[in-house]
Amino acid sequence: MSDLATLDKAPLTNEKLEKLAAEIYRVPLELQREIEQFLYFEASLLDDWRFRDWLELFAEDVSYVLMTNTQSQTRDRRRGVHPPLTYIFNEDKYQLERRVARLETGMAWAEEPPSRTRHLVANLRVLSYDGEVVETASNYHIHRASKQTDIYSFVGTRRDKLRRVGSTWQIFERKMELDQFVLVAPNICILF
Amino acid sequence: MDDLLHVRSLVNSREGTVKPAIYTDPDIYRLELERIFARSWLFLAHESMIPKAGDFFTTYMGEDAILVVRQKDGSVDAYLNQCRHRGMRVCHADGGNTRAFTCPYHGWSYGLDGALNSVPLEKEAYRDQLDKSKWGLTRVTRVATYKGLIFGNWDATAPDLEDYMGDMKWYLDGFLDRRAGGTEVLGGVHKWTIDCNWKFAAEQFCSDQYHAPYTHASAIQVLQPTTANKADGSPLGEGQTAKPVWADALGGVQFSGNGHGSAFFFTGKPDANVWVGGQVSAYFREHYPEAVERLGEVRAKRLAGHNTMFPTLSWLNGTQTLRVWHPRGPDKIEVWAFCLGDKEMPDDVKDALVKSHARSFGPAGFLEQDDSENWVEVQKVLKGHIARKTDFCMQMGRGFEERRTDGIPGLTNYTFAETAARGFYQHWADMMSAENWGEIEALAKASEKELTNV
Ligand code: FES
Ligand SMILES: [Fe+2]
């Protein structure tokens, strides 16, 4: 009890913390919840093999990018020197659609029989909202069970930009990183 | 000859059979590291990746960790990435620029030239008795460069790089030499693991045109420019072929020599395949006349097809992917894939090529996905005792080998053949059962004669 009293009286002199606080709370809770539900729904469409519906959640001008990761020493990074990255995904709407079409052929052998996936979305932060566009940061964990005993795990971070469309949203930019330096999988044949 | 593990009984290139134990046996794998990987010319890096003094790239020769370093005088050297004190990995970055390589364990520090320059507490702990000149990094015995590609070889008695390549040089030139100025690596390196023996990947790129129509059926179907695929029926990019290369091909050729192999189709026009970005294929058309001048018509037109330089360097024309299959045990590889473009390409074409390369043959590539899946599943099936003893059929085009008179060098066959596979495994068996390069070359000569009768 006395603790609370002391807290109340404590002067708020921690300026660094105050500055960080401004980074933490950026948008109304209601919006946070709306975006969260949208991203959970998007993940469920992939996991339920509703790929055509999934495509609807992406804008016609979407840029969908997943980059590789490389290792360099801290002293090199400080000098801005590090081995170049490259693309794992760099898709526009049409290419995403072709990836879906590929899965539909029944001859995309890496996905025959189709694997089961769970796209987990976590640590969602809504970074900004200007009345039209929402910027988000989140982490993903994709669990993939394939063939008889193959289990693959893909973890990383992504930054999405969503645009208000009618009563819902469309993603028009997805930038992802994958936290593997040597990808521990024979291929990536699912959508992230 | 010293066929320690009787591998010659597992490969019958004349009949066209192999016993799949060659993909699973740990003893065979250990011998491969010694007799194949420590005696062959292995790709290390492209010169463009380490342009300045002190630039380095870390890679592997077989399972040996290697540091490739640009020297102060502009030359390139390579060292075992292993500290001479207790064997710690000296450098942990994928690449970078440095003045010294300092071991994280006790702090021994090596120069760009591999020399051991400083040792902590040298006076107090070693009483100034350590002969530092004796403890430099282990230098890769031979390093040689061919048109931008840097190779290393541990064997001082191996033939020179260009002799080792033999007729494969002609095919490689078609990839590296389309324009003045040569090639460079664009973007970063794709690295991923596949749970399969290295020979599945290497042999497929050496010899297996045959898998493409079926393995890649899904990609072919959805990337074809049809109204079903795209409302206006236009291709993915301007200037691409309407059909996969084999659909309109005017015949084709497969090559085998020194364990290397290559195949492609003859096309009417310099057409890149359907999975090459439109801007990229437009570029190939635009610079076709220069390529003809440098390479002649056959190679200038060749913008598709597969290649392996024995043992583990493979590339594909047109999609411009170059990769190494680093072995990681009998049932695992690491693929390192590089995107190669002409230095003279405009920046926007380079950018389009990097993207096109990832979309076709990166780990999530439309084409790449299917290949790895096959090898993984074959390897799983080989867990079976009977499966390991059951012959594989490698007889396609047996007896139809020829030597052409139109300037296409080497032993050849129709593009759908397994001539290069038979050559690949025979060369493998020769290297595995020979004690030195003198023997390898003698065996290779005898094998070629027996294999071909032409
Ligand atoms: S192992 Fe490198 S300094 Fe000891
Ligand atoms: Fe393939």
- Residue that has been written with the tokens 């002799």 in this structure: B163
Verify that B136 and B284 share a domain, yes or no: no
Specify if B2 maps to a domain.
no
Between the alpha carbon of residue B387 and those of residues B12, B15, B199, B204, B326, the distances in Å are 18, 20, 17, 20, 25
Question: Rounded to an integer, what distance in angstroms lies between the CA atom of residue B12 and that of residue B19?
Answer: 9
**B379 touching A (Cβ < 8 Å):** no
Verify that B235 and B262 share a domain, yes or no: yes
3-state SS class at B343: coil
CA distance A27 to chain B (A): 35
Verify that B267 and B381 share a domain, yes or no: yes
Specify if B427 maps to a domain.
yes
B427 counts as catalytic: no
Contact (Cβ atoms closer than 8 angstroms) between residue A105 and residue B222: yes
pLDDT in tens, chain B (454 residues): 899 999 999 999 999 999 999 999 999 999 999 999 999 999 999 999 999 999 999 999 999 999 999 999 999 999 999 999 999 999 999 999 999 999 999 999 999 999 999 999 999 999 999 999 999 999 999 999 999 999 999 999 999 999 999 999 999 999 999 999 999 999 999 999 999 999 999 999 999 999 998 999 998 888 877 777 776 665 555 455 666 777 767 789 999 999 999 999 998 888 777 678 788 988 999 999 999 999 999 999 999 999 999 999 999 999 999 999 999 999 999 999 999 999 999 999 999 999 999 999 999 999 999 999 999 999 999 999 999 999 999 999 999 999 999 999 999 999 999 999 999 999 999 999 999 999 999 999 998 887 776 5
Contact (Cβ atoms closer than 8 angstroms) between residue B437 and residue B159: yes
3-state SS class at B438: helix
Range of the domain at B376: 7-36+167-452
Using a CB-CB distance cutoff of 8 angstroms, which residues of chain A are in contact with residue B97?
A: 76, 81
**What are B437's two structure tokens?**
């390069």
CA distance B196 to chain A (A): 9
Which one of B93, B114, B145 terminates a domain? B145
Q: Which of B187, B363, B370 sits opposite A188 (nearest CB)?
A: B363
Verify that B106 and B178 share a domain, yes or no: no
Specify if A187 maps to a domain.
no
The total number of structural domains in chain B stands at: 2
Specify if A162 maps to a domain.
yes
Q: Which of B94, B96, B376 sits opposite A186 (nearest CB)?
A: B376
Verify that B404 and B274 share a domain, yes or no: yes
Nearest CA to ligand 1 atom 1: B86
| CATH assignment of the domain containing A65 | 3.10.450.50
Question: Rounded to an integer, what distance in angstroms lies between the CA atom of residue B317 and that of residue B307?
Answer: 8
Indicate the top mutation candidate among B67, B88, B118, B126 to test ligand 1's pocket, ranked by most ligand atoms within 8 A of CB: B88
pTM of the full structure: 0.95
Question: Rounded to an integer, what distance in angstroms lies between the CA atom of residue B214 and that of residue B372?
Answer: 14
Specify if B157 maps to a domain.
no
3-state SS class at B17: strand
Q: Nearest CA to B285 among B238, B346, B245?
A: B238
Verify that B132 and B173 share a domain, yes or no: no
Mark yes or no for CB contact A72/B97 under 8 Å: no
Asked, as a colleague might, if the bond just before B311 is cis with ω within 30 of 0, I would say: yes
Nearest listed ligand to the Cα of residue B109? 1
* Widest Cα–Cα separation across chain A: 70
- In DSSP terms, which residues pair with B145 in a beta bridge? B150
Question: Rounded to an integer, what distance in angstroms lies between the CA atom of residue B241 and that of residue B275?
Answer: 9
- In DSSP terms, which residues pair with B46 in a beta bridge? B149
Mark yes or no for CB contact B355/A87 under 8 Å: yes
